[in-house]
Amino acid sequence: MAGLTTFVIFGASGDLSRRKLIPALFHLYRKGRLPENFALLGVARHPIAEEAYRDSMREAVAEFSKPPEPAAWAGFRERLHYMAADPTQTEGLRSVEARLRELEAEAGDPTQRLYYFAIPPEIYQPILECLAQAGMTREDRGWRRVVIEKPFGRDLASARALNQAVHHVLREDQVYRIDHYLGKETVQNVLVFRFANSIFEPLWNRNYIDHVQITVAESVGVAHRGAFYDSVGVLRDVFQNHLLQLLVLVGMEPPSSFDPEMVRNERAKVLSAVRGMSEAEVGENTVRGQYQGFGGEPGVKPGSQTATYGALRLFIDNWRWQAVPFYLRSGKHMAEKTTEILIQFKSVPHQLFPLTPGREIRPNALFLCIQPDEGMHLRFEMKVPDTEVDLRSVDMDFHYADDFGPGALPDAYERLLLDALEGDASLYTRADAIELAWQIVDPIVRSWETGSPRLEMYAPGSWGPPAAETLLRREGREWALGCGGET
Ligand code: BG6
């Protein structure tokens, strides 16, 4: 026997396990991607019989993905185990260690374990300590890795403290800080698009690009996560991680190889070049909004000042990007769900064509469509046939579904979980990058918490507060969406 690889989920009966982790692991299993000798041990506080846990995970796969094929599920089910334990107590973890040893006994060494923290962030530190005290981080019989979910800290100070607690018991290469955006195919494709094609990269800089927009819009409100959301707000929830990671992929320099550390070095460099803001600058360069009715959502404190919408104007201070604004926006309860990146090129230097008054040549625009209609749109100008020189914008587009078929895009977690099992950390965030991201967001959070800029209300189903339009309009620009086919 060649040893056993065990995926241990702390928080095994929670939402994340049901919606994402178990379906992703099941799909990896049915595609034959998991190690041959693989087991999954779910750990949570309340006692449930193992069989009942297996049944409820089958229902979760059916609900959040699709009903599993009976034969594949039968094989997966046998590998699925459950036990009740309190992971914040050393005794609790000793009982987990004992169970793991039972599972591992038959297969022999090496024993390889991935511990997944699908638990509230307040208990990350106690679990880390207890894991070490129970001897579960020692690697004498095989590797031990930990995947830590977001939010990784609430601000720079707490992220630093958490990094210290992590490094007290683990080496950095044992730690996988997850941001599920990096697992999305369309997000990974930004680098391939940039660095596996020769025609765009020469234009990818301040000489040809006027500005960049990144939109992460959600049509839903905070739903059942009101209490959690009220305590974090949009900056901590999605800007510190997802939006900044998208900015990084657009802004980074080509690494000299695809080696995980090379890629992560370049990612960290962009973050370190993002210009910090003073409090006065936060008032000028950000917009803070809340959807009407947020205060009445279950779990939200009445009169809450928490932002559910944010727009930022950022700059990257380096040779490539000097003076090119990056406008980032995200909100709940927006007009539609879409995540897209717009690369807006500069206007032509000279208007050659005698256009009718009021008409202008629109600058080229490239839309990278992250979701839901994954693909790409490139807008350019064409002559309208049978006119002297009337011009019109047209759209050249690519959709994953057309070229690779429907269902070709796996869930982000599949790729990320597999990478962690294989020891590839390229798509995970290193300690320094997490801290750099907080360093960018921290002054904005502080300023917002003192009321600057003022909180603007917006109607659910709109594109956010009018101030967000002004942020761009005062510079002669406007927010644009191109992924639904509109240009
Ligand atoms: C999560 C946030 O990290 O990302 C949620 O906590 C948000 O508030 C979600 O809804 C968005 O992820 P996706 O993959 O649906 O764009």
Q: Which residue's structure tokens are 């009018």?
A: 466
SS3 236: helix
User: What is the value of pTM for the model shown?
Assistant: 0.96
Residue nearest to atom 14 of ligand 1 (CA): 181
Closest listed residue to residue 374, CA positions, set 249, 480, 484, 246: 484
Residue nearest to atom 10 of ligand 1 (CA): 218
151 CB less than 6 Å from ligand 1?
A: no
Of the pLDDT bands very low, low, confident and very high (cuts 50, 70, 90), residue 197 is very high
238 CB less than 6 Å from ligand 1?
A: yes
242 carries an active-site annotation? yes
SS3 14: coil
Alpha helices in 14-154 (DSSP H): 15-16, 22-30, 50-64, 70-78, 90-105, 124-133
Which phi and psi angles does 59 have, rounded to 5°? -60, -40
388 pLDDT higher than 90: no
The rounded Å distance from CA 245 to ligand 1 centre is 13
Q: Please measure the distance between the N-terminal and C-terminal CA atoms of the chain and give it in whole angstroms.
A: 58
* 287 vs 407, more confident: 287
485 pLDDT higher than 60: no
Task: Give the active site residue among 242, 333, 350, 377.
Answer: 242
pLDDT (0 to 100) of residue 181:
96
* 280 vs 133, more confident: 133
Of the pLDDT bands very low, low, confident and very high (cuts 50, 70, 90), residue 487 is very low
The rounded Å distance from CA 441 to ligand 1 centre is 18
pLDDT (0 to 100) of residue 355:
83
74 pLDDT higher than 60: yes
The rounded Å distance from CA 49 to ligand 1 centre is 32
Average pLDDT on 248-271 reads 97
Q: Annotate 180-203 with DSSP letters as a single string.
A: GGGGSHHHHHHHHHHHS-TTTGGG
Q: Which of 238, 241, 374 to mutate to test the pocket of ligand 1 (most atoms within 8 A of CB)?
A: 238
SS3 238: helix
Average model confidence (pLDDT) across the chain: 96
Q: What is the pLDDT of residues 329-375, one digit of tens each?
A: 999 999 999 999 999 999 999 988 988 787 889 999 999 999 999 99
Which helix (H) or strand (E) covers residue 284, if one does?
helix 279-285
The rounded Å distance from CA 475 to ligand 1 centre is 30
Give the ligand 1 atom nearest the CA of 181. 14
